[in-house]
Amino acid sequence: MSEKKASGGVVLIMAHRPSAITECEMLLVLDHGMVKAFGPRDEVLEQTVKNSRQIRSSSAEGKVGGVS
Question: How far is CA 27 from each of CA 24, 34, 63, 68, rounded to the nearest angstrom?
Answer: 7, 14, 20, 22
Q: What is the pLDDT of residues 15-66, one digit of tens each?
A: 887 778 888 889 998 889 999 999 999 898 888 877 666 666 665 555 544 4
pTM over 0.85: no
Q: Residue 39 has what pLDDT? A: 94
Q: Give the largest Cα separation in the chain, rounded.
A: 34
Query: Is the pLDDT at 67 greater than 50, yes or no?
Result: no
Q: Residue 9 has what pLDDT? A: 82
Interior/surface letters 12-29, b for 16+ CB within 10 angstroms, e for the rest: eeeeeebeebbebeebee
